[in-house]
Amino acid sequence: MTTKAFVIGHPINHSRSPLIHGTWLAEHGIDGSYEAIDVAPDGLPAFFERLRKGEFAGGNVTIPHKEAVFALCDEVDPLARKIGAVNTLVVRSGKVFGSNTDYLGFLGNLDAAAPGWSDGPDDAMVIGAGGAARAVLVALQRRNGGKVHILNRTLANAQALVDEIEGPFEAHGFEAFATLAPRTGILINTTSIGMHGSRFDWLDFSLLPKQALVTDIVYVPLVTPLLAEAAAHGFRTVDGLGMLLHQAVPGFEAWFGVRPAVTPELRARIEATL
């Protein structure tokens, strides 16, 4: 019998997940499907009833449902609670389990693109304290050796996040950059300013250690102004597309029983759609 999976959102036509999972299904010759389903917020309870009846092995959840599904799942992974969002559902024996694979996508991307990135004692610098920062913080907490500094335009928002998520986190305003930069091993931009073609004018790359890694979680454009500037200064950079691809791996494995690979061919295929 065909194993079925889905991505639900509203709207859903921009999701690249069907192409990612469709590529893997074809590659492995699996009798499976992965479809994009537009579910409006008031349609979520009915959709979960379909899930409990066993129509699907599971699927992904995207905007605007990532928080609303908490109340509908039978069980939610503690890390998804910490991140504040569910992006992956797995149905087993009529029960729906929710988890968040974004932090695994963040780690998988860096491990593939910059092996050994977390081996040193350096601190990490996270710019931004919104929803996207939370998955990055949970990831760094599990792997980074040093402290994690959160730099945000509004200090109070960074402080609120630090107070809520337990871990080796410190909140700062942007003015802390100059002091913290020399101890920074990895800099991660979690804000969406790169999507709007902006950069941070206070970010002086000459203060960062030469071996620092610079990443952006935005992938449209693939090379954000921040990454372009970092590369021009000779820093290693990692773009955000790999995070999208790697976050899809655990879901595919749970639904279809095969751990898929993030290959250069898959990356090129998705890149062509950006």
Q: What is the distance between the alpha carbons of residues 194 and 227, in angstroms, rounded to a whole number? A: 9
158 known member of a binding site: no
Closest CA to 100 of 56, 135, 57, 152: 135
Residue 118 or 191: which CB sits closer to ligand ATR? 191
Residue 141 or 191: which CB sits closer to ligand ATR? 191
Residue 192 lies near ligand ATR (rule: CB under 6 A): yes
Residue 72 or 83: which CB sits closer to ligand ATR? 83
194 known member of a binding site: no
Residues 23-52 that bind ligand ATR (CB under 6 A): none
Q: What is the distance between the alpha carbons of residues 235 and 29, in angstroms, rounded to a whole number? A: 40
Token pair recorded at residue 35? 């479809």
DSSP 3-state of 49? helix
Preceding amide of 64 cis, omega within 30: yes
Residue 240 lies near ligand ATR (rule: CB under 6 A): no
Helices 249-256 and 102-113, interaxial angle, to 10°?
A: 110
Residue 137 lies near ligand ATR (rule: CB under 6 A): no
Assess whether 66 carries a catalytic annotation.
yes
Q: Which residue has the tokens 């797995």?
A: 90
Residue 132 lies near ligand ATR (rule: CB under 6 A): yes
130 known member of a binding site: yes
Among 86, 129, 135, 230, which residue sits at the site for ligand ATR (rule: CB under 6 A)?
Answer: 129
Closest CA to 153 of 195, 185, 190: 190
Active site residues per annotation = 66
The residue ranges that bind ligand ATR (CB under 6 A) are: 128-133, 152-154, 157, 190-193
Binding site listing for shikimate = 15-17, 62, 87, 102, 219, 247
